[in-house]
Amino acid sequence: MTNKFAMTAEMVERFRSGFDRAEEAGVPEPTAMTLATVDEACRPSARTVLLKDMDEEGFVFYTNFDSRKGRQLAAHADVSLVFWWRETAEQVLVEGRVEAVTPAEADAYFASRPRGSQIGAWASKQSSTLSSRQELQERVEYYEKHYAGQDVPRPPHWSGMRVSPRRVEFWYGRESRLHERVCFELVEGTWRDFLLYP
């Protein structure tokens, strides 16, 4: 069934074109995006995560659900993302809600990760207090032995989140700070586009 709130073809093309320009310009990590969340008391926090998939349904990243951001996402599904591609003077700002990807999607992505990253997903109690790096190394060694000679399954606490946008702004740097801002906003089930003053 088609998602009536899916992004328009123009929005998807604008993002992909900007991403391609960033790659061509040598942006070190064009998939890097700032993810802003709030906790149960509505206090904000932000960190950088990596985009792993993008289509008309939204923007996908992966995380440990037991982590600080995982707990915040469970408490409040409203989030924002910021892509900043300095070399091309472009930003993409996204506001929306997160929902978990399907288990099949998560399994397929997890299977594509390097084995060391798969082991790390089991070994890391993400965001929990760590007494020493040695403790972490011991956990890595434990899971390396535990899964020796077999495929590493996806941990039940590790999966993907898809940000389904309700507002997306494409920001293009221009001379004299007269930047170009093209905004798309979902209003009563329909995407509307407009320009903003810089």
Q: List residues with catalytic annotation.
A: 177
DSSP state of 156: T
Pick the closest to residue 54 from 154, 186, 168, 156 (CA basis): 168
- Beta carbons within 10 angstroms of residue 87's beta carbon: 14
Query: Are 14 and 182 contacting, i.e. CB atoms less than 8 angstroms apart?
Result: yes
Residues with Cβ < 8 Å from 76, sequence gap 6 or more? 37, 38, 39, 40, 42
Q: Are 82 and 103 in contact (CB under 8 A)?
A: no
Side chain identity at residue 46, one-letter code: A
Contacts for 143 with CB less than 8 Å, ≥ 6 apart: 119, 122, 123, 152
Residue 44 CB neighbours (<10 A): 10
